[in-house]
Amino acid sequence: MDFFEHQEAARKKTKLLIFYFVLAVILIVTALNLIAYFALSGFSASQGGNEALSLSQWPQQPGFFFTSGAALGLIGLGSLFRWFQLRGGGKSLARMVGAREVLPDSNDRLERRLINVVEEMSIASGMPVPTLYVMDEEEAINAFVAGQESSDTIMVVTRGALEQLSRQELQGVVAHEFSHIFNGDMKINVRLISVLAGILILGQAGYYVMRSLRYSGSRSNSKDSGNLIAVVMIVGISMYIIGSIGLFFGRMIKAAVSRQREFLADASAVQYARDNQGLAGAFIKIAQQSSLLESRYAEETSHMCIAEPIKLNFSSLATHPPIDKRLDAIMPDWQDFQHQQLNKAKRKAERSADEQARREKAKQKKGFEAFGGEGVLAGMGGLIETVGSPTTLHLHAANALLLAMPEVLRTAAHNHHASSHAMYLVFALLVSDNGQVEESVLNLIAEKYGESSKEEVLKLASHMTSNKRYLRLAILDMAIPSIRRLSKTERKNFLSLLKELIHMDKQVSQFEYILYSLVRKSLTPANASSKIYIKRFSKAQTEIQLILSAVVHASQNSEAEKQQLFNTLIVSFSDKKMELLPNNFEAESFHKSLLVLNKLTPLLKKALLNAFEEAIQADGIAQVEEIELFRAICEFLDCPLPRILENYSQDVANKIHGSKH
């Protein structure tokens, strides 16, 4: 299965989750009614009732409606409360579990290593850089990702993972978590927390009922009140027991949803890095030490973690396969590898931080040109097949991109201080687009953020020369986590100014649209409402015509070749004659068309993106501008496109692999 098939499967799995939830609710309500029936029947008999109530008559009694209504109300309120608590997406969940955000400009050595690994994977895979968090109080090794959309994705790792894993092992863990994003698991996992909260609340309600009645019995002397308290106590105990049944169903649902997804994520992580030793090494350390979390939310988030965070008596209810089974799947000879690692640890101490820093500094001198420079962007070669599936070449080339980036730009991207904020980097990308810096643009920036901001933007723009255009989107990706730290008001003001700067010349260029739309998408909260899918191309013919025309015009073909190419490609999406639209980029209509196409089912998106790729490949040259346009299209279709293309020359590939040794 490729990325699009996994997305389609995830869409269907959401329906399966709803089915499991409804089934669990029906069984819980039925069990509560049975207990209420027998409890009230026993109470009636103790009071000398003449006529026993049959079970078949119970659904017509007020007690049935009260019991069912109370149960459904509690379940609904529990799910609604947790959904409301997590409506802010990944960051809300991070706050709930008490994780601390990792600042983009952190000076902590272990946190810097995590940032570098995640940035490499993000650039290689085409995913926005997630906001990083650390659970400082957790010494066990674990990690998870969460979020509703790519714009609010977070990655949480424990302090134990940072301190106990090597860089290679940490990269394996990060690749595993990214695969959950690619495979559509992230959104399902967050929804599952809200769903299960309603099922689990019955047990909590039963506990509070019993606790509130603990002292009531000693103060009640009458027989009637004593019997009533006994009945309520029985109901409370029953709710607690049924809450445990709810916990059982909850774990069954999580196991059904997540166990196979973990095997898939393991395999995908190995595929991305072409390295099974990193993830295998992490699993071996988890088996030797622990993945159990102290957090009181460990039960609710157990299905999201890379390894089982809670202790279970029955392995059949585990949300994760056993570690040894996962190791067998990715490395059949893992026991020999484990023995080798132990011997290696005895023979050689871990390199010091100073040695690592010197080695990285020497490596930076080689720069991106050592790997082929812009020649890396020369070919496309089955690009759609890499959506959601970055290869080892993507990872190495992403690292090369980071090394090619001037240090002043890398520092600015991680900066969230007022004097040199990462948002100045976005302004620098804007003003350096056409090679000429407009004084009026700089003056408006200075008016909003002070005279020093003007100087900072000019300094950053001076490093964005025409031969570094291939770095533009990588620079933007690195800056987004710092910009996300702006308050809601600051974000609004920043986006408003960026839009005003773009419209100063009364027109919006293709790159200006790409820049603004990607920034806005990354900073705008995700819409939690359900998407209504478009299942036929005939429902989006006009939008396909507009986007395909823009992609065709971005190529270096002649006008006649463009017309012929468009005619060849459009027939797959329309049964009527459609013309190539004029080469006149109109940002608003382009954006509206993308929003419509985002409603296509995953498999329809794949066919459409294949056509766009064919249009770009037609002239045999993939220009930076074409790649940026394609990246923006993929971003709005929620299809992560690797920034670095897969079709390296053999010479470039050898250089990349040679740099590792």
Which residues participate in catalysis according to the annotation?
177
The answer to whether 252 and 16 have CB atoms below 8 angstroms apart is no
User: For the range 320-328, what are the long-range contacts, defined as Cβ-Cβ under 8 Å and sequence gap of 24 or more?
Assistant: 320/258, 320/259, 320/262, 321/259, 321/262, 321/263, 323/283, 323/286, 323/287, 324/287, 326/262, 326/263, 326/266, 326/283, 327/280, 327/283, 327/284
Give the burial class of 189: count Cβ atoms within 10 A of its Cβ; 0-12 exposed, 13-18 middle, 19 or more buried: buried
Separation between Cα atoms, residue 321 and residue 210, nearest integer Å: 37
Nearest to 157 by CA among 101, 105, 209: 101
The answer to whether 268 and 6 have CB atoms below 8 angstroms apart is no
Hey, which residues does 143 pair with through a beta bridge?
Answer: 157
C-alpha of 528 from chain center: 14
Residue 543 tokens read as: 């939008």
Nearest to 99 by CA among 127, 151, 139, 137: 137
Roughly how many angstroms between the first and final C-alpha of the chain, as a whole number?
A: 33
**HSE of 45, CA atoms in CB hemisphere, 13 A:** 9
Separation between Cα atoms, residue 282 and residue 402, nearest integer Å: 26
Spatial CB neighbours of 274, under 8 Å, sequence gap ≥ 6: 391, 392
Amino acid identity for residue 423 in this structure: M
Q: Give the residue carrying structure tokens 């723009």.
A: 461
